[in-house]
Structure 1
Amino acid sequence: MGPGTDLTAGVLGGLGPEATVDFMAKVIAATDASCDQDHIRLLIDHNPKVPNRNQALAGETPSVGPELAAMAQRLEQAGADFLVMVCNTAHAYSDDIRAAISIPFVSIIDVVMDELSTHSASRVGIMAAQGCLQAQLYQQALIQANCEPVVWSDAELATFMELVYRIKAGERDADISSAIEKLAASLAFSGADLLISGCTEIPLFMGADNSPLPLLSSTDLLVARTIALARQQLPLTS
């Protein structure tokens, strides 16, 4: 499909910055292109100034819904045909985003659940941040899909959040990767037969090659959906 026939994807990014860059790099790598013009157009609001989503969902700070809605409006006004967001936890504010725009917002949660429907897993481990788990984003979706969610203990979640903030601070120590793998293994030990990588920082350290169970990467699945929608290979629905 040549230039001018693709749709433009708007990306709510910066939540965090490296996860957004990882998403962008994967979009480029996964796009079938032989020249610049073959790539899809991305409009990106890379906004790391959005306050901490986990703190907001814990009631410690005001809602970040208005800030995300403003980002979505800017992207629509700039010419985006549809929107995606490179942060699972921030999808707790999906209603705020959708209420602010007239173009489709494609949920990363829905994209993961679409892929899960092609698997036979019955007990699914959720690797996600505190706010995402607190908002029950994946738990509710899994229950609706007749799957049993498997989650970390409070202590394990606290360990994961420490790792997330180290990643966001730019740390790349080898112990982070081993610690994430250990947390993945704990979900397998608890009876999960498949894992959801429901935090966009996780792919920076763990993928299918070092996961103890089959792994659905929210980042990778959103990459594939973004390209397919931009190429108009899938229908665009709200």
Structure 2
Amino acid sequence: MTKTVGVIGGMGPAATLDFLVKLHHATGAVEESDHLRVITDNNPRHADRNAAMVADGPSPAGLLAETARGLAAAGAEFLVMPCNAAHSWAVDIIAATPLPFVSMIDVAVATVVAAVPEARTVGLLAVEATQASRIYHNGFEAAGIAVIAPDMAAFMPLIYAVKRGDTGPAVRAAMAAQAQLLVDAGADVILAACTEVPLVFAPGDIAAPVVSATDALVQATLAAARSLSG
């Protein structure tokens, strides 16, 4: 048996669905019953993480903690959250329940280090809240890897376009261009560190290594569900 996954979702909803689909396909199930039990709260009512971090907007901490408690009450045995920026409030989630919490940030950093061991600079395709809180900077700097960020004035409109449902060719081309600018500025590897990014950008879109934090969390979720079983 495997442990039941609790997913703190909705940030945004399409990104959560992308995570769930990837988790489903990565399970390698032969029978229907081989799949994980996943309890998901795909709630888009969380306060805007960027406004909370950089513009003195309302904090998402309270609802994140409430969601964690709800998932625990529903039967989740560990928690994951397919939103990078919301990890800026991970301490509130961890304090809300005794359940293990699998950090997307930690597993993405570890994946980059393992996948591109020679990397000395990572290009961080991440929103303002993630950049400002330095949750990735701290992890990469501890590993001796520098972080460079895209131009937020160009990058943020792309993220909001994806949240509105625009995943067309123009947005895809613009996201790839943002990644290429980071490579041109010295990035050895690109980390898709916003869960909207993989909806319009994938490895192979540029001629440089690309790691998806969503994919890293998928693999960590599978490992946690299986290793925690007993």
For the aligned pair, the TM-score class normalised by the smaller chain equals over 0.9
- Return the letter of the residue paired with 1:113: V
Q: Residue 112 of structure 2 contacts residue 191 of structure 2 at CA under 8 Å; is this kept in 1? A: no
- Return the letter of the residue paired with 1:176: V
Q: How high is the TM-score relative to the length of structure 2?
A: 0.95
Residue 102 in 1 paired to residue 102 in 2? no
1:92 maps to what in 2? 88
1:146 maps to what in 2? 144
Once residues 216 and 122 of structure 2 are traced to their aligned partners in structure 1, the CA distance between those partners, rounded to angstroms, is 17
2:121 maps to what in 1? 123
Instruction: Provide, for residues 112-150 of structure 1, a one-character-per-residue CA deviation record: whole Å limited to 9, x for no partner.
Output: 112123122111111101111011111111111111111
Work out the number of aligned pairs and report it.
Answer: 227
Once residues 74 and 58 of structure 2 are traced to their aligned partners in structure 1, the CA distance between those partners, rounded to angstroms, is 27
1:194 CA displacement: 0.7
Q: How high is the TM-score relative to the length of structure 1?
A: 0.92
SS in 1 for 2:11: coil
1:177 maps to what in 2? 172
1:22 maps to what in 2? 18
SS in 1 for 2:118: coil
1:9 maps to what in 2? 5
1:172 CA displacement: 2.4
2:215 maps to what in 1? 220
Q: Residue 167 of structure 2 contacts residue 199 of structure 2 at CA under 8 Å; is this kept in 1? A: no
2:53 to 54, 57, 60: 57
Instruction: Provide, for residues 50-100 of structure 1, a one-character-per-residue CA deviation record: whole Å limited to 9, x for no partner.
Output: 111110111431211111000001111111111000100000000111111
- Return the letter of the residue paired with 1:87: C
Once residues 9 and 186 of structure 2 are traced to their aligned partners in structure 1, the CA distance between those partners, rounded to angstroms, is 34
**Stretches of structure 2 lacking an aligned partner (at least 5 in a row):** none
- Return the letter of the residue paired with 1:23: F
Q: Residue 8 of structure 2 contacts residue 79 of structure 2 at CA under 8 Å; is this kept in 1? A: yes
1:212 CA displacement: 3.2
2:193 maps to what in 1? 198
- Return the letter of the residue paired with 1:143: E
Once residues 211 and 15 of structure 1 are traced to their aligned partners in structure 2, the CA distance between those partners, rounded to angstroms, is 26
- The alignment-based identity, stated in percent, is 38
Once residues 27 and 70 of structure 1 are traced to their aligned partners in structure 2, the CA distance between those partners, rounded to angstroms, is 24
